[in-house]
Amino acid sequence: MKTCRIPHTELDVPRIAYGCMQLSRAWDDTAITAAEISATLKLVETALEQGIALFDHADIYARGKSEQLFGEALRQIPELRGRIVLQSKCGIRVAGDPGAGSPARYDFSRGHIVRSVEGTLKRLDTDHLDLLLLHRPDPLMEPAEVARAFDHLQSSGKVLHFGVSNHSAAQISLLQEQLEQPLVVNQVELSLLHHRMISDGLLFNQPGDTGAGRTLDYCREYGILVQAWSPLAGGKLSAGTPAKELHPAAERVARLAEAKGVASEAILLAWLLKHPAGIQPIIGTTNPQRLVASCQADAVELSREEWYALLEAVRGTGAP
């Protein structure tokens, strides 16, 4: 698989990454199972065979069990840690944490960031993360407090590089002003179906201009890798029977996939890979066959006409 360098780092990563949220689907306090460990090992091996070497986590995924399962894979394949880039996210606290009356919330306090990373490292059975992302914006964020947390984590060798997830250009800029470390990643929801960050650029000074495209332009300008979560939009354009309003787009994807001899998933990912921002899709399927089919995207080249035709089909209108 083709690779790219994450700006401002020494990390060369594949164009497609693997998201580990669904390694466990039991968001409760039950223990991980032998069946989950076996399935995780199969998925990790399949990803590596396809050239995927960046694995994305978050401390809240299955209440930490997805990280635990990956940690078990690291224990069973001792040489694996040196072959991969490990990334995790923190900052989301679920209802009931730490007490029964605690609401769901976001927490960028120094103490919570540091504790979250220490928990992640223990579950993953590793001594450092290559990348740590702040998961969702915290309205109570104090940038200077985040800076102290990042300084501690970096100086102690627990985190090498930092980024954010689901942040706007303005939020990134506000935080970056206080940091010694560059923010090198912004992970956002982005797909052919959820295309506003890309298509908004067509609508400047037009009805429907939301400003979403400014964040993509900001990331390009300042050398921030854009990672796309849910790049297949949950299969809405590539699996099963699409909703009626999505029939034209799904049919266009299917026809193009047939013409190029690849799976529909590969067309959807190739649409993102075509963009000059260097978007890195993070695929999260737990089906090894679908994972392999998705990785066909690395060899797919869409023409400008094909790229715009897909966008037109999903928007229901052409370029203004």
Active-site annotation holds for 308: no
- Report strand pairing: 17-19 vs 159-165: unpaired
Instruction: Give the separation between CA 214 and CA 206, rounded to whole angstroms.
Output: 15
User: Among residues 18, 61, 218, 222, which one is catalytic?
Assistant: 61
Instruction: Give the separation between CA 151 and CA 142, rounded to whole angstroms.
Output: 15
List active site positions: 61
